[in-house]
Each structure stands twice: as structure tokens, then as C-alpha cells.
Amino acid sequence: MYESMIATLVRIPGHAGDEIEAYVARPEAEFRRGGVVVIHHMPGWDRGSKEITRRFAELGYDAVCPNLYTREAPGASPDDAAAVARAQGGVPDDRLIGDVAAAAAYLRALPTSNGKVGVIGYCSGGRQSVLAACNTDVDAAVDCYGAFVTGEVPTEFPLKITNLVDQLPNLGAPLLGLFGAEDRYPSPEQVDELERILTAEGKPFEFHRYEGAGHAFFANERPSYNVAAANDGWERIERFFGAYLGA
């Protein structure tokens, strides 16, 4: 555990060279280590997302959480920025890929980097974590209850997203999936479908489903928080990143 850390705001070049905000947390110690890109949930670049970023620093990683809504609402509070981003149709997939790739490059350029970078995302970020792992060079990916990795996106949705089924053959990193058995987005059937596809493709993955847990069980400031699922989930994340992001 690295309780002494440095957490700060930086600006990094994101997709297409756009400057975006990012929250960085790093252990205050000199040793080679992996990096973690934290993809925030749909409600935005909020306190909870930054707490998660600091927790990865405590675990011994350089961690960065880019503000995916920097462009829509620079300087706005996270909830206002999330409202604008939602009203404008959400984050385009190509831009997300570019921003995550830029965040990974930022981490690999740190003098403490061992060259390995993992990505983790929650809620909409869970899908985006898989998307990033299909399109960028990362060493491990974690999907926390991301909807529409599989399954049909209803046609009336104004958000311009598709499922990722056609991209899964390009998944380039081991995937840890953490899901609530009571969740409807993604539903247990959609998780089953993802499991079948990854098995057929011969992709390394590890899934865990928590009985009694719904969506957003890691969100400790929301009624959806599930202590048992979140605690077990954190332990599995720790072991997973330990296995794939070590020196």
C-alpha cells in the first residue's frame, strides 16, 4: 500500500490533439510500475471517479482519469458537464479511443513507467474500456457493468452507440468483467453472450457475477452500492492488474 501519493490536475493532448483535463494520482515513491487509465461513468468526472483514481495510486500504480467531457463543458461542474454531454449525444467512440490512447501514452511517458498500462471503466465506461482494449495498445482491461458490449441497442436511442460484437475479435488484452446478477443493462443474458463470444474467439477473460447486486455496485455514494460485491470486486481487480501490469 502506498498511502503517500501525489494527486493533481493536468492537461494532456487527447484525441485529434485536443487538450483535455485529466486527474492524475501517483505513489510518492520511486519505483517502476504499471499505469491505469480510469474511464469515468456516464455521470461524469466526479468525486467518485477521482477517489477510484487515488485508490489505484494507493495500490502502487500511476493512474490517470481523463475528463471525457472536457470539450462539451470546459470548467463546468461534473454534473452540469454530464448533462451537456448527454444532451449532445454522448462521447463518440472514435474520440473515446483517442482520449484513452493519449492517456495511456501519458502514463507510459512517466519516468516511473514499466511500459504496461491497464484500462478500467464503470457503467458506460465499462463498454468504453472494452472498446479501448479492441482499438488501442493496452495490457489489461476491466469492464465494470458496461451495457451494450453485446445486445441490441434500441433504434430510438439518441446516443450514437452500437454494440461491440464486431470488434471483439480485435480485443487485444485480457478482460476482467464484473457484473451484478440483478442488473438489466447489461442483463445476465448479455453477459452470457459476451462470455460465449470471447470463448469462441479464444480470448483470455475472467468474469464474476454478484448475486444480489445490481448496476453500479461500486458507487459508494449511491443507493446501488453493494458492500460485498464492491469489496470482492476490488480484490479481483487488484489481483488481475497485479498479474498483467507488473514489471
Partner 1 sequence: MCTYTTVHADMDGSAKGPGSAWFHAGRATVYFDHPVHAMAEHTLNIDLTDPDGDPARRVALELTAESARALVAAIQEALAAVPDELKV
The footprint of partner 1 on residues 21-80 (CB under 8 A) is 41-43, 46, 72-73, 76-77, 79-80
- Least distance in angstroms from the C-beta of 75 to partner 1: 9
- According to DSSP, the β-strands at 113-122 and 33-39 are parallel
**93 near partner 1, judged by CB under 8 A:** no
Interaction pattern, residues 195-224, with partner 1; x per rule: CB under 8 A: -------------------xxx--x--xxx
The residue among 185 and 207 lying less far from partner 1, judged by its C-beta, is 185
- 23 in Cβ contact with 36 (< 8 Å): no
Find the distance separating the first CA and the last CA of the chain, reported in whole Å.
Answer: 17
Burial of residue 147, with CB atoms counted within 10 A of its CB: 0-12 exposed, 13-18 middle, 19 or more buried:
buried
- 134 in Cβ contact with 172 (< 8 Å): yes
**143 near partner 1, judged by CB under 8 A:** no
**Which one, of 11, 124, 134, lies nearest residue 64 by Cα?**
11
Interaction pattern, residues 170-199, with partner 1; x per rule: CB under 8 A: -------------xxx--------------
Binding site for partner 1 (CB under 8 A): 41-43, 46, 72-73, 76-77, 79-81, 83-84, 86-87, 90, 123-124, 147-148, 153-154, 156-159, 161, 183-185, 214-216, 219, 222-224
